[in-house]
Amino acid sequence: MFERPASGERAVLVQLDLGQGAVDERLSELQLLATSAGATVEAVVRGRRAAPDSALFAGRGKVEEIAETLRVHDADLVIFNHALSPAQQRNLERALECRVIDRTALILDIFALRARSHEGKLQVELAQLQHLATRLVRGWTHLERQKGGIGLRGPGETQLETDRRLLGQRVKMLKTRLAQLGRQRQTRRRQRERRDVLSVSLVGYTNAGKSTLFNTLTKAGAYAADQLFATLDTTSRKLFVGGGNVVLSDTVGFIRDLPHALVAAFEATLEETASADVLLHVVDSASEDRDAQIEAVNQVLAEIGAGDVPQILVWNKIDLTRAAPAVERDDYGRIRRVFLSARTGEGLGLLRDALAEAAHDHASSASPGPEAGVTHAGAEAPAQAASSATSPDTASIQK
């Protein structure tokens, strides 16, 4: 549905080890991002530096290696798995004589490819324009070389300033329109609160299986695929469980180093997550990097003001790990984890029971304190998640 033509751009990926750890996982994620954007990965250039080079990020020797790789593989695009400054990007393009994009631009491109709703498209455009604003000079670099002459005098700076003004006007219009949509969303949210319906949001790392779980629970038919950021637009459905009705919302997946421009642009959508009564934090239990993914999601949740919303960890894809469906509770009897497979339906009844328990506690509680049946995000710290790999209940999840 969202695939680009098979003759996509031929890309060379660049991954430098700057001491941030999990380099192999980061590179694997970059390859998925590149293919999700429609690129064909021709080669990977790796390296190690103590700190980025101020001018070229990778250093002159590594840039020469990248240039040689481009020539050997006849590639036309270089993708850095890092955030490049406008000057670094401009210098790299001059040195390599091809287009260079960073991780932020790549994610923005995928978001533009996936957005379907009117609000989603507005949010992506706003994020793209805000990212472009710092790189606007790139579109007019040919004017920098103009030293005058017949037909060449004048408009360089004027054209650039005109472009900046038009961009600023468009950004202002987008923010106004998104604010209007945000107020409409708040009205719908207040109506649900008056009906005292439990609000549940699905959150998790991208490609963890949130949309598949959403479709399995609600029969909604939301788009789900084995690709990064398959879901951008929030979809909500009413779901009946033993404790009453709940409103379940499928939201955009998170990723490590999520660009701040995207978080800001998707503020209205992410408010749905921050205002939820319970978060179903879906985890790809088959991923060796799952503990870092849990930490990355919790960091984004804290950034958008949802760090204190109670969570139920949903350890998905047990069909790949051969783990048994189960429910794990903490020392206070609160539900901590549910082990299931959204694809096969194993353990789905356990999750419904957990939601029914949360809905019952929500309906019977007169105070806005923590729900009795779930655990706060802070209670499930990354260290706990990591230590759980050796516990009897989760030992079978290891590959």
Pairing of strands 235-241, 244-250: antiparallel
- pLDDT at residue 207 in the model: 85
0.75 exceeded by pTM = no
Q: Please, is 118 exposed, middle or buried when counting C-beta atoms within 10 Å of its C-beta (0-12, 13-18, 19+)?
A: exposed
Q: How many alpha carbons lie under 13 Å from residue 293 in its C-beta half-sphere?
A: 24
- For the segment 132-143, what is each residue's pLDDT rounded down to a tens digit? 777 765 444 444
pLDDT bin (cut points 50, 70, 90) of residue 192 is low
- pLDDT at residue 228 in the model: 59
- For the segment 320-357, what is each residue's pLDDT rounded down to a tens digit? 999 999 999 988 888 999 999 999 999 999 999 999 99
- 196-366 classified as CATH 1.10.3720.10: no
- All CATH 3.40.50.300 domain ranges in the chain, comma separated: 196-366
Compute the average pLDDT of residues 43-52. Answer: 94
Whole-angstrom distance, CA of residue 137 vs CA of residue 308:
42
pLDDT for residue 189 is more than 90: no
Known binding-site residues for Mg(2+) equal: 211, 231
Known binding-site residues for GTP equal: 204-211, 229-233, 250-253, 316-319, 341-343
Q: Strand 40-48's sheet: what is its strand order?
A: 40-48, 10-17, 77-80, 99-101
- In the block, residue with structure tokens 């009795």: 372
Residue 271: in which H helix or E strand, if any? helix 267-274
Known binding-site residues equal: 204-211, 229-233, 250-253, 316-319, 341-343
- 10-101 classified as CATH 3.40.50.11060: yes
